[in-house]
Copies of this chain bind each other. A is one copy, B any other.
Amino acid sequence: MVNKLRIIPLGGMGEIGKNMTLFEYGRNMLIVDCGSMFPENDMWGIDLVIPDFAYLRSRADLIRGLILTHGHEDHTGALPYLLREMSLPVYCSRLTRGLAEVKLAQEGVSDRATLNTIQDGDQLRLGPFEATFFEVNHSIPDGMGLAIRTPVGTVVHSGDFKLDIGSEQEGAPDLAALARLGGEGVLLLMADSTGAERPGFTPPERIVEDTFERIFAEASGRIIIATFASLLSRVQQVIDVAVRHNRKVAVDGRSMVDNVAMAQEMGYLRIPPDTLVDIRKIDRLPPSRVAIIATGSQGEPQAALARMATGIHRHIEIHPDDTIVLSAQAIPGNEEPVNRIINQLIQKGADVIYDKLAPVHVSGHGSQEDQKLLIRLLRPRFFLPIHGEPRHQHQHARLAHQSGIPWERILVLNNGDMLEVDEESARVADHIDQETIFVDGAVVGDVGPAVLRDREILARDGFVVAMLAMDAASKAVRDVQVISRGFVYVRESEELIQRIRAEALRVAQEAPPSSRTAERVQRALETFLLQETGRRPMVIIVSSTASVG
């Protein structure tokens, strides 16, 4: 047993350590976060991607606890899946706990976790690890960074963070406390790289409220604001501005309704009495007295905003005097559906305000100057950029170098890399192979590359099944039935289907006896279909021997 600290970032697909990080010292393990990712566009039909728990499975008895830095899905979404395999004590802030409780109850695994609430300044001893929590700004309240004191030194994990230093908001990070931590000596800083391509500081949340003020001052009809259901500070801003402008607020979209109710109950939202109004009753108010907070800012087709845009919303029909604000930025991959919804709303005559036109959103992640400030406050010996794709890590590494960290103390890792750290050194000592674990429907891990490849072929050109009816006695092919889906519009392609059938029958009957008839027919049909249509549908040949009783 060596006296080294091991740090292993796991999961997060292209992002490093986004979903989970393991800390190991001797026979003790501490887990930070347990999140899930949404699939990329070419992960056909997949619902979620979660970390590979293989390494944890064999070490379940070493785990001293699991800390959640904040309540977003990419840090909490895989918790139910891990809890199905092992019971764990979980530590998180009050709001994160509220969100986790809802999730664990939905998934029926509430009894598998002991949830413990921690807050700013708390110290928590878990085996050889002593974690101190400090509040950070992010796009959800109650986000935490960690200072983990270990036998080899102090490791700081930023969580998802920005330094909203110009803000009057509660929960702005205590820069003096961070500087004191730096004074005590930080061995390693692991910091959020997401915003590393953006120059300057991330603008304060304040500027969004200023934009809302202008919009509310000018709009004569209803104001509909779409944002993330977890972005409770934004929801608070809408409520504050609406109250100042004498508008009632309706909440729309299931996750928004649930989150607002929960946050109000827990005291994370201050809503004056008589402010909220039922979405079904807004038509009783003059449009100039109504504001609506809705889900759907990422173009999700089932969410409230998309239903308004396509005219299938049960309670809201878009009018030309509506003002609609998309208070969010499209996550890469979502640009197409977001733009489509903007276009649809504009075509209904509404005035649509989005990030390209006005400052209606700011990021929850620090930009280059936030990142440099954190590094300069903490002055770590080693630096590890996390929470971002390689392009962000790479930029963050440059910023760290500019902030005085020598290149040889800057560590750029891949998921699964095992970093070994002692008082003097840090190096990648090993690598734990990670599979990409897909959740599809109710099943975890049964869909892999082979199934995705099939779905890709089916998505592109559909399939053709040719069923060869064999004569039981002579083994000759007597007839062929053809079915297809996603290949051609069958009703208008009857003649093509008949030709496919004839071609299959011809090839099958001309095949020498006891040859591989199915293979021959398959190859022949693939060639035939490519020639006739320029397409490559999946071709499947099934033989059924007629076995009549």
Contacts and interface: CB of A to CB of B under 8 A. Distances in A.
A390 B343 contact: yes
Interface in A9-59: 14, 40-42, 44-45
B342 A441 contact: no
Interface string A443-487: 100111011001111111111010101011110001101010111
A53 to B, nearest CB: 18
B547 A469 contact: yes
Interface residues of A, number: 78
A356 interface: yes
Nearest to A529: B441
A478 B544 contact: no
Contacts of A467: 467, 542, 544
Interface in A170-207: 197-198
A481 B340 contact: no
Contacts of A356: 197-198
A273 interface: no
Contacts of A540: 483, 485
Contact of A533 (B332, B443, B474, B481): B443
A451 B40 CA distance: 23
A533 B442 contact: yes
Contact of A534 (B335, B443, B472, B549): B443
Contact of A459 (B44, B414, B441, B487): B44
Contacts of A347: 390, 414
Contacts of A446: 488-489, 492-493
Contacts of A198: 356
Contacts of A530: 441
A120 interface: no
A483 B461 contact: no
Contact of A548 (B394, B440, B450, B471): B471
A357 B395 contact: yes
A389 interface: yes
Contact of A485 (B354, B389, B395, B463): B463
Contacts of A124: none
A340 B478 contact: no
A333 interface: yes
A443 B390 CA distance: 41
A455 B332 contact: no
Contact of A472 (B41, B443, B548): B548
Contact of A391 (B41, B352, B450): B352
Nearest to A44: B459
A4 interface: no
A489 B394 contact: no
A265 to B, nearest CB: 31
A41 B442 CA distance: 26
A336 interface: yes
A45 B459 contact: yes
Nearest to A453: B486
Contact of A478 (B395, B448, B479, B547): B547
Contacts of A489: 446-448, 450-451
Interface string A485-527: 1111100110000000000000000000000000000000000
A99 interface: no
Contacts of A542: 467, 481, 483
Contacts of A409: none
A473 B548 contact: yes
Given A346-B394, A391-B346, A485 B458 contact: yes
A345 B37 CA distance: 23
A534 B336 contact: no
A538 interface: yes
Contact of A336 (B333, B447, B461, B463): B333
B339 A389 contact: yes
Contact of A462 (B339, B394, B454): B454
A309 to B, nearest CB: 11
A535 interface: yes
9 contacts: A44-B486, A45-B460, A357-B395, A443-B534, A446-B493, A458-B462, A458-B485, A467-B467, A544-B544
Given A45-B461, A442-B535, 9 more contacts: A44-B486, A45-B535, A352-B394, A456-B459, A457-B486, A467-B542, A469-B547, A472-B548, A546-B547
Interface of A: 14, 40-42, 44-45, 197-198, 332-333, 335-336, 339-340, 342-343, 346-347, 352, 354, 356-357, 389-391, 394-395, 414, 440-443, 446-448, 450-451, 454-463, 465, 467, 469, 471-474, 478-479, 481, 483, 485-489, 492-493, 530, 532-535, 538, 540, 542, 544, 546-549
User: 6 shortest A-B CB distances, which residue pairs?
Assistant: A441-B534, A442-B534, A459-B459, A458-B458, A45-B460, A546-B546
